[in-house]
């Protein structure tokens, strides 16, 4: 099973087309980078994958529709943004304690 699979993924904002029929398949264990200029649709694609925005076409993350079952999917998915969102003073052990508290399926191993 693919971790992420999109077919004909499309998203518009009014008359602006942000995603225009994207096909994408990411197999388990692969690392993927979305690279492109501002306005290319990278953030929109990530928002769709995370179930944060509606879309047209087919999209499955771990075999599930992220828009329809986002709460369920987020039990198995984590997203780390490319911007610093953690305080500089936090220690790794403190961060692990925090994550254990907010993500019930997190495994310290």
Domain boundaries, position 37:
2-80
Per-residue pLDDT of the chain (109 residues; tens, 9 = 90+): 899 999 999 999 999 999 999 999 999 989 888 899 999 999 999 999 999 999 999 999 999 999 999 999 988 887 877 666 778 898 988 988 888 887 777 887 7
Strand partners, 56: 10
Contact in structure between 48 and 66 (CB atoms under 8 Å)? yes
On whether residue 56 sits in a domain, the answer given is yes
Q: Tell me how crowded residue 45 is: count the other CB atoms within 10 A of its CB.
A: 23
On whether residue 44 sits in a domain, the answer given is yes
Model confidence, pTM: 0.76
On whether residue 100 sits in a domain, the answer given is no
Contact in structure between 38 and 27 (CB atoms under 8 Å)? no
If one counts the domains in the chain, the total is 1
- Residue 34 is part of a domain; what is its CATH number? 3.40.50.300
On whether residue 26 sits in a domain, the answer given is yes
Edge-first strand order for the sheet with 2-13 is 16-27, 2-13, 56-61
């Amino acid at each position: 099973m693919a971790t992420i699979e999109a077919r004909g993924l499309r998203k518009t904002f009014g008359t602006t087309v942000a995603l225009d029929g994207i096909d994408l398949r990411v197999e388990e264990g692969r690392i993927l980078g979305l690279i492109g200029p501002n306005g290319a649709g990278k953030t929109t694609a990530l928002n769709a994958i995370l179930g944060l925005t509606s879309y047209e076409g087919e999209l499955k993350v771990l075999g599930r529709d992220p828009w329809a079952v986002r709460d369920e999917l987020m039990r198995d998915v984590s997203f780390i943004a490319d911007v610093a969102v953690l305080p500089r003073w936090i220690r790794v052990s403190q961060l692990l304690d925090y994550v254990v508290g907010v993500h019930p399926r997190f495994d310290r191993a």
